[in-house]
A and B are shown apart, each in its own frame.
Chain A
Amino acid sequence: MATILTPQATGKLVGKRVRRREDPRLITGTATYVDDIQKPGMHHACIVRSPYAAARIKGINAQAALALPGVAAVFTGKDVAALGPVPCGASLPGLRVPHHHILAQDRVYFTGHPVAVVVATDRYIARDAADLVEVDYEELPAVAAPEKALAPGAPAVHPEWPDNTAFTYHQEGGDVNKAFAEAEVIVKQRIISQRLIPTAMETRGVVAEWQPGDKALTVYSSSQIPHLLRSLLAGMLGLPENRLRVVVPEVGGGFGSKLNVYAEEALMGFVAMKIGKPVKWIESRRENFLCTIHGRGHVDYYEIAAKKDGTILGLKLKLIQDLGAYHQLLTPAIPTLSVLMMPGLYRFKNILADIVGVFTNCVPTDAYRGAGRPEATHGIERMVDMLAAELKMDPAEIRLKNFPQPDEFPFATATGLSYDSGDYEAPLRRALELVDYPRLRQEQAEARQQGRLMGIGLSTYGEVSAFGPSPATPAGGWESATVKIDPAGKVTVLTGASPHGQGEETTFAQIAADELGVDLEDVIVLHGDTAVVQYGIGTFGSRATAVGGPAVYYAIQKLKEKIQKFGALLLESAEVTFTNGNCVCNRNGKSVTLAQVAAASYRAMKLPPGEEPGLQVTYFWEPPNFTFPFGAHIAVTEVDRETGRVSILRYVAVDDCGNIINPLLVDGQVHGGVAQGMGQALYEQAVYDNNGQLLSGELTDYAIPKAGMMPWLETGHTITPSPVNPLGVKGVGEAGTIGASPALVNSVVDALSPLGVRHIDMPMLPEKIWQLLQQGGQA
Chain B
Amino acid sequence: MKISGTHLLALGQEGAYRLLQDPEVLAKCMPGCEALVRIRENEYQMKMKMALASFSGLFDGTVKIADAEPSSSFRLLVEGKGKIGFMKGEGRLRLSPDGTGTQVAYDGDVQVGGTLAAVGQRLIDTTARMMIKRFFDKLDENVRTTST
- Which A residues have a C-beta under 8 Å from some C-beta of B? 51-53, 111, 131, 286, 289-290, 689, 691, 693-695, 697-698, 700-701
What is the distance, in angstroms, from A402's C-beta to the closest C-beta of chain B? 45
Assuming the contacts A51-B85, A701-B122, asked whether A695 and B113 have C-beta atoms less than 8 A apart, the reply is no
What is the distance, in angstroms, from B12's C-beta to the closest C-beta of chain A? 40
For A701, list chain B residues within 8 Å (CB). 119, 121-122
For A131, list chain B residues within 8 Å (CB). 83
A694 lies within 8 A of B118 (CB): yes
For B83, list chain A residues within 8 Å (CB). 131
- Which B residues have a C-beta under 8 Å from some C-beta of A? 81, 83, 85-86, 111-115, 117-119, 121-122
Taking A111-B118, A697-B121 as known contacts, 9 extra A-B pairs with beta carbons closer than 8 A to each other, sorted by chain A number, are A52-B86, A52-B113, A52-B114, A111-B114, A286-B119, A693-B121, A694-B117, A695-B117, A701-B122
Q: Which of B81, B83, B113, B117 has the most CB of A within 10 A?
A: B113
A51's closest neighbor in chain B, by CB?
Answer: B114
A697 lies within 8 A of B113 (CB): no
A687's closest neighbor in chain B, by CB?
Answer: B121
Which 10 pairs across A and B sit closest by C-beta, in order of nearness?
A697-B118, A51-B114, A693-B117, A131-B83, A695-B121, A693-B113, A51-B113, A698-B119, A51-B85, A694-B118
> Considering the chains assembled together, what is the distance between the CA atoms of A52 and B81 in angstroms?
11
Q: List 30 A-B contacts (CB under 8 A).
A: A51-B81, A51-B85, A51-B113, A51-B114, A52-B86, A52-B114, A111-B113, A111-B117, A111-B118, A131-B83, A286-B115, A289-B118, A689-B117, A691-B111, A693-B112, A693-B113, A693-B117, A693-B118, A693-B121, A694-B117, A694-B118, A695-B118, A695-B121, A697-B115, A697-B117, A697-B118, A697-B119, A697-B121, A701-B121, A701-B122
B81's closest neighbor in chain A, by CB?
Answer: A51
> Considering the chains assembled together, what is the distance between the CA atoms of A233 and B145 in angstroms?
68
For B81, list chain A residues within 8 Å (CB). 51
A130's closest neighbor in chain B, by CB?
Answer: B83
> Considering the chains assembled together, what is the distance between the CA atoms of A104 and B114 in angstroms?
17
B117's closest neighbor in chain A, by CB?
Answer: A693
What is the distance, in angstroms, from A454's C-beta to the closest C-beta of chain B? 33
For A286, list chain B residues within 8 Å (CB). 115, 118-119
What is the distance, in angstroms, from A362's C-beta to the closest C-beta of chain B? 13
B115 lies within 8 A of A51 (CB): yes
For B117, list chain A residues within 8 Å (CB). 111, 689, 693-695, 697
What is the distance, in angstroms, from A365's C-beta to the closest C-beta of chain B? 18
What is the distance, in angstroms, from B14's C-beta to the closest C-beta of chain A? 38
Assuming the contacts A51-B86, A131-B83, asked whether A691 and B113 have C-beta atoms less than 8 A apart, the reply is yes
For B121, list chain A residues within 8 Å (CB). 693, 695, 697, 701
> Considering the chains assembled together, what is the distance between the CA atoms of A763 and B112 in angstroms?
25
> Considering the chains assembled together, what is the distance between the CA atoms of A689 and B1 in angstroms?
10
> Considering the chains assembled together, what is the distance between the CA atoms of A695 and B111 in angstroms?
12
A286's closest neighbor in chain B, by CB?
Answer: B118
Q: Which of A53, A111, A290 has the most CB of B within 10 A?
A: A111
For A693, list chain B residues within 8 Å (CB). 112-114, 117-118, 121
> Considering the chains assembled together, what is the distance between the CA atoms of A52 and B117 in angstroms?
11
B88's closest neighbor in chain A, by CB?
Answer: A139
A53's closest neighbor in chain B, by CB?
Answer: B113
